Amino acid sequence: MEPFTGRDEEGRVIVLTLLSREHAVLIGEPGTAKSAMIRRVSELLNAKFFSYLLTRFTEPSELFGPIDIKALEEGKYVRITSGKLPSAEIAFLDEIFKANSAILNALNTLLQERVLYDGYSEIAVPLWSLFGASNEVPEEAELLAFYDRFLIRHFVRPVPENLWKDLLDKSWAIERSTYYSEGKRSEVVMDMKELKKLHEAVLEVDLEPIKHKVTKLFAAFESRGIHISDRRKGKALKVIASSALLDGRSRAQEQDLLVLKYLVPRDWDELEKVNTILSEELKTPYRYLRELNEIKTNLQELLNYVVSLQPVESKYVDYRFKQILRDIELTRERVAAIAIESQDHTVQRAVEEVLDVIEQIASIIRKRLP
């Protein structure tokens, strides 16, 4: 498999979920394209897909299919599952934690055993991965066991302000392509049989180089008050192996342990703690990338500030611009030092992006100052 070179984190999370044949929950505010991403992936895999929005009033028949009345008249209890969740290979359930107890109980065994217990029968389902979505982390005790069934948890953030123009451009392009391609099927890039072969390759990845480090990280999380269930500890290796395969390797490396940020945190607060622990414990480019991301975010805000002051004629503005110019030169030195320290291609690309923002700010200020 070719190394993964994309920069879309949500895309990587989805692929890791599919390669490991696990389930994922995407947590974030409405309108962050959670359902659109999963539907698109199912089209590219030509997978049987099922999607539904859950409420506390959703009936089991809406997900699992209605009872066959003719069979019932003959004394048989049979569900018509065609086109419903039991027939799906990839599924997406929105507002998943709002389901009632009858549905949650059925989903529990569906996720864990890929079996639907229905009356007096057991229905084996072809479900490969189920993706749930929620605007918030569940707090109720009865939902915590269900929440733990989702090995991968990804916290989806809205598009930052500096990318709003890209958001508008891409949203408009999607609207146009959707309209002009109505009735046309998406080009399939891989089928479910090929995905199964990749999953088998995941199970052959050599994990010995990282097992000791994994146990050290688990201990570090627990010592900081972040509890991990035994189920999650055991299954973490599948996602670590998937990361290695996704990057074109058959042997896991320390950098693959970064996927723990998708497995360990229970909520937004723990996500920040986990990121901090990983940056402290792993000898990877991760800590440099985190620092560069923080620098870039601050610089983007500074760029917006400079642009807003650009038309203002004032000695105070000139004074502030001189201060900013000195400050960003110091930032440039730190960024250059990171590039030398890391000697990593991914970090180098991030460095170039940060330097580009610095140059944008400096260019505006130089045009203003004598």
Over residues 169-179, the pLDDT tens digits come to 877 877 777 66
Q: Are 300 and 357 in contact (CB under 8 A)?
A: yes
Q: Which of 31-40, 194-203, 279-288, 317-326 has the highest mean pLDDT?
A: 194-203
Neighbours of 343 (CB within 10 A): 9
pLDDT, residue 212, reads: 94
- Of 62, 131, 69, the residue nearest 103 (C-alpha): 62
Q: What is the pLDDT of residues 22-78, one digit of tens each?
A: 999 999 877 666 777 888 889 889 999 999 999 999 999 999 988 888 877 777 777
Q: Inform me whether the pLDDT recorded for 364 exceeds 60.
A: yes
Q: Are 295 and 347 in contact (CB under 8 A)?
A: no
pLDDT, residue 7, reads: 39
Q: Are 248 and 1 in contact (CB under 8 A)?
A: yes
Q: Are 347 and 288 in contact (CB under 8 A)?
A: yes
| Structural tokens at position 92 | 């997406």
pLDDT, residue 125, reads: 93
Q: Inform me whether the pLDDT recorded for 130 exceeds 90.
A: yes
Q: How far is CA 241 from CA 41, 150, 252, 288, in A?
A: 21, 18, 6, 24
Q: Which runs of consecutive H residues, i.e. helices, occur in 247-344? A: 260-263, 268-281, 286-309, 315-342
| Structural tokens at position 79 | 């569900």
Question: C-alpha angle with apex 92: 89 to 95, nearest 5 degrees?
Answer: 155
Neighbours of 196 (CB within 10 A): 12
**């342990």: which residue's tokens?**
257
Q: Are 146 and 104 in contact (CB under 8 A)?
A: yes
The residues spanned by each domain of the chain are 9-180, 203-281, 286-368
The CATH T-level fold of domain 9-180 is Rossmann fold (3.40.50)
Higher model confidence: residue 282 or residue 325? 325
Higher model confidence: residue 29 or residue 115? 115
Q: Are 152 and 242 in contact (CB under 8 A)?
A: no
Mean pLDDT, rounded, for 219-226: 95
β-partners of residue 251 are: 206
What pairing do the DSSP bridges indicate for beta strands 152-155 and 121-124? unpaired
Q: Phi/psi at 283 (nearest 5 deg)?
A: -90, 65
